[in-house]
Amino acid sequence: MMGVFFQYLILLFENQLSYAYFFKSAYLLLCVLFTIIFYFGLSYFIKAFNYQDIKLKY
């Protein structure tokens, strides 16, 4: 699911990710950030990710 979303973002920003475009690295990082947000949102929605697992206990 995450790969399909990432592929969709790559196709969406295809013109901005061309070799000659100056800000292509910013658009690629934006795609990766959106994909990570999508992953955490989806995993939280299907209860595969628990926020309390991240909390550090000292």
In a domain, 48, yes or no: yes
Mean pLDDT of the chain: 77
Residue 47 lies in a domain: yes
46, pLDDT greater than 80: yes
pLDDT at 57: 66
2-6, 13-17, 19-23, 34-38: range with highest mean pLDDT: 34-38
**Domains identified in the chain, total number:** 1
Name the residue range of residue 40's domain: 2-53
pTM, two decimal places: 0.57
Exposure pattern of 18-31 as b/e (b: 16+ CB <10 Å)?
eeeeeeeeebeeeb
Q: 2-12 and 24-45 helices cross at what angle (nearest 10)?
A: 150
Per-residue pLDDT, 7: 81
**6 in a domain, yes or no?**
yes
User: Does residue 21 lie within any of the structural domains?
Assistant: yes
* Angstrom distance (rounded) from CA 12 to CA 6: 10
